A and B are shown apart, each in its own frame.
Chain A
């Protein structure tokens, strides 16, 4: 061990960061969505996979997603500090130093990608690496502060997990997984802009060019409705193409109708509505929508596979 001399007392900083603070850097709530959609992609894929390797794949994808969250919190500490939703994060609170968050994010990025590559396959590992790069560099460092299309393009990072899950199971990227990608991709703008509508003051203070702050609320509401109109039928496509049964299809139609209805309510909101109840309702509904779509997809796939096994 090296003996370090001449350390000025003022340079010694004893951290009060607990393991929980570091866990918070992984954005556990975002991670839960990533894990869930990746599981759906992995299970829905054809063929059999060793369950232990499947668990490793999911853990690696989760850690990779968490790592990109830590890198995001390292870079965005200045923004997070002035926004009510994010001001309690470990870096703005000063519990974790920016450099510590950076090191944590980088180490976990490398570890998750290499683990996925060595133990599962390199296609899924390269997709995970690309996702981390896309979220940390393209979205966080570049798009977030420069264009109102930030979360539209950046949404691709959050939409990839089912494709990674599918790639982990099969070593390929197929139309089935691309449709799952598109569902999350088209869901992101109305989901995020619903939040941005009632948190516009926050984003304005932080200088983040979110759509309501740049293009105005009316334009944002119109665009949200536009995305909802494409999302609702697209989510039915897996049933149309015969990937899943019409049980899923009917549920997707109903959930999609609800999504369009809630987005319509946001569009119809009066411009002097400061409470924005419809936007808050859409935000809550959008989370339920995505979880439900993927859960029903999963149940449908598993149910048919079970029936085929019993029938055979």
Chain B
């Protein structure tokens, strides 16, 4: 299998890292966005449920 592995050049590694960080940040922002929007939309009634 080893001979099938592709070695990345430093430029490719750097670019991949940059893309990884951007994708990570974008997905995290999306989570926060929907999480907070849920709270905002429900308002105080978010706690108003049978426990």
Binding site for B on A (CB under 8 A): 9, 12, 14-20, 22-23, 50, 52-53, 56, 59, 115, 119
B46 at the interface (CB under 8 A from A): no
**Contact A20 B37, beta carbon cutoff 8 Å:** no
Known: A14-B8, A15-B12, A56-B33. A22 touches B40 (CB 8 A): no
**Contact A119 B11, beta carbon cutoff 8 Å:** no
**Contact B19 A52, beta carbon cutoff 8 Å:** no
The 8 A-B residue pairs with the shortest CB-CB distance, nearest first, are: A19-B22, A18-B18, A14-B12, A19-B18, A16-B15, A119-B37, A18-B15, A52-B40
**Contact A20 B11, beta carbon cutoff 8 Å:** no
Main secondary structure on chain A at its contact with chain B? helix
Interface size on B (CB < 8 Å)?
A: 18
> A145 CA to B24 CA in the complex, in Å?
38
**Contact B15 A12, beta carbon cutoff 8 Å:** no
**Contact A22 B11, beta carbon cutoff 8 Å:** no
Interface string of B14-51 (1 = CB under 8 A from A): 11101101100000000001101100110000000000
Known: A12-B6, A56-B33. A18 touches B40 (CB 8 A): no
Interchain CB contact (< 8 A) of B19 among A19, A53, A56, A119: A19
Min CB gap A51→B, angstroms: 9
Min CB gap B26→A, angstroms: 9
> A9 CA to B6 CA in the complex, in Å?
9
* Residues of B close to A12: CB separation below 8 A: 6
